[in-house]
Structure 1
Amino acid sequence: MGILAKRSKDKNIIDTVFTMVKKANDAKVKYGIDSVIDVTIGSLCDENGKFTIFDSVSEVYKNLDNMDIAPYAESFVGNNDYLREIKSWVLGEHEEKFRVGAIATPGGSGSVSSTLKNILDPGETLLIPNIGWGPYKIMAREHDLKIETYQLFNEKDEFNIESFRERSSEIMKSQGKVLAIINDPCHNPTGYSMSKSEWENVVSIMNDLSENGNFILLNDVAYIDYAVKGYKESRKYMECFTDLSSKNLAVFSFSCSKTLTKYGLRVGGSVFISNEQKNIDDYMRANEFTCRGIWSNVPKGGMKLFSTIQENKTLRSKLAVERDGYVKLLEKRSKIFLEEALAVGLEVYPYKEGFFITLKIKDEKIQESMEKLNQQNIYPIQVAHGIRIAICGSPSKKLEGLAQKVKNIIG
């Protein structure tokens, strides 16, 4: 029979990101850093290519008391002050409009995974965008779920609401429940952000289909704090959920990794809203069990770091100023690449803001294009239906002329 469970015997992960990062690093050693264009890194880096560490965050962390770091958290669902502050931060001025719950999770990944586990039974279907973060599929497999995709964009390069409606309807008809993921704003990997009217259409579909079952939306907001329009405007779309059917639930997956640039602390959370208290109570109860049964505790120091900053207006402002500088830097980098791409006829998916830009490449040409680029010491990341350029981790000078080089290489 073998030592593995049947559900695990065929598991085999090949992480395309870390594989390509290694290839890029090997090329730097062999040819020199200046000869390599590395657009693999999905983390913020400064104009010298160094990993970004917000000084305003590090100062607070260094000054935390040992007892704020070393012991277990107050509860396996998280520290009370942390839960209070992530609800306030994620929802902003909209918090009072809903029934609200929250749990701490190990990064935004923990939030996504626990949502999949507690909403769908093994064998049921998860709805995700056809262009999206690769680990959604891995997590679905881990929880023995099937995958269905909606087309992210229509022919007008807008959110494909008709595809979302069609796929959601099919799933509701077959299983009496829908769990759909939308990664917005600052979509990974395209950098698209939906308009409020697009969000209104999503909520309308959720409500229409709730006549036949529950519709649960997982809104992955990992990159929300890098929206160009700023804190208040980036959360404006959440007003749409005030009309949410009482049979429905929305879960926001939040990541301190991006908001604080403290990836290694592994702190995130689920903030969930409904217009029916029972939905909140049921989801909270299920997640309490998951927290205890899977990770037991989220690092206390990371939670205390976030709540300490958010509770203090001065600290919060210092962080906002520092982070906003990088939002402007991302704007600058995207402008460099996008203007040149337009000039040379290099097709990209619609970008609004965020860490990544994705080239439109026909599926049958992606692998060949990647090999050609690597041969010329250009290292991007292969994603579904395209090639990702991580402007977040690349100095501006490395992006200058890149679109022309890519166009010359792949045609």
Structure 2
Amino acid sequence: MKLVVQVRLLPTPEQAAALEATLHACNEASSWVSEVAFARGEFKNFALRRHTYDTVKSRWGLGAQAAQHVIKKTCDAYTTLRANLKAGNLGRPGSKRYRRATEKPVVFRPEGAQPYDDRMLSWQVPGRTVSIWTTGGRVKSVAFTASAEQLATLALYRKGESDLLERDGMWFLNATCEVPQAPLNTEPVDFLGIDLGIVNIATTSDGEIMAGRELNRIRTRERGLRKKLQKKNTPSAKRRLKKRRRKEARRAKDINHKIAKHMVAEAERTGRGIALEDLTGIRERVRLRKPQRATHASWSFAQLGQFIAYKGRRAGVPVVHVDPAYTSRACAECGHIDKANRVSQAWFACRSCGFVDHADRNSSRNIRARAWELWRRGAPSTAPASPRTSRGGTGRKRGITASDARCASPAL
């Protein structure tokens, strides 16, 4: 399986200037290639190369390999755009967002990532340095820092391209690694059902609750601080805003990694699989009051589902996505479905048998039962594009897939 290891470069000022000039040149060339592709309606790599390759080399001083990567990156960007349009991620045809994405060429940011292959980049992992091509010539002995685990992964499994990128004045290399995965456990003894939420980030069918209140309080405080700084609009306020960029996203990502690692380790230890809801389309379907929109928009449920999926693949733990319809309303003991069963956000009380439980734990038990039933029936192994979670104000979760569930984890 493919994993990406990100290492931070520690260039000298001269090396950083050469990297910056290279990145700006490559992205400026990519934007020009994008204009040619858009004007000609030609988005295939080899066909587009005939119209742009010589100009890219001569005008921006790029080498042969860099010029080819610039053209290929442009074609990949249009492929991604078409996929997003087809999936409805950019709104409906004719909408303002859809037109904005289709009526003009793709533009590349000056600090956008640029791919490097082994002819343009060489790693000296024991010495923690790289030798990298730039428009000003080869720059050698660029230091980088990484953890011991990352160094071991790079030394053993690095294979393919690496991406150079700059973010907030820091330089990074994203290296592709081909990591072996454990054999899939085809005979799990049971499933660990996981209900994803906002108040509680994850609740398992074992009764374990990963509360999200602290994270939500931090998010609320960060939003308030950003609002004050934006309103102040002074140079110092702008510096503080820039410094705090992506801080909330980094914190949420760290929490999701820890939760996913814990869940997969527990399932692997007990010989079980993992059951998640396939709740695609929450952004398009659910209508919320204005105070709830910011909290809902910052909910990183898809990221957590992807982390669980790839960590499960690496550990050989099967991951099953089930239909989420009525998991919040159905009783885990008797199966009775009623909107009134959901007494509040926190509690579930069955109107038929009187069973009372934490609402999220009841949902996770329903998810576990559906996954186990599907596994025994031999459900098809199909991976959803991205696991999304939908939770409306009534407590009903609506799945949009035709089948009851989709097994296996999403591709990386």
Q: TM-score, length-normalised on structure 1?
A: 0.25
Higher relative helix content: 1
Higher Cα radius of gyration: 2
Q: TM-score, length-normalised on structure 2?
A: 0.25
Greater length-normalized contact order (CA 8 Å, ≥ 6 residues apart): 1
Higher relative strand content: 2
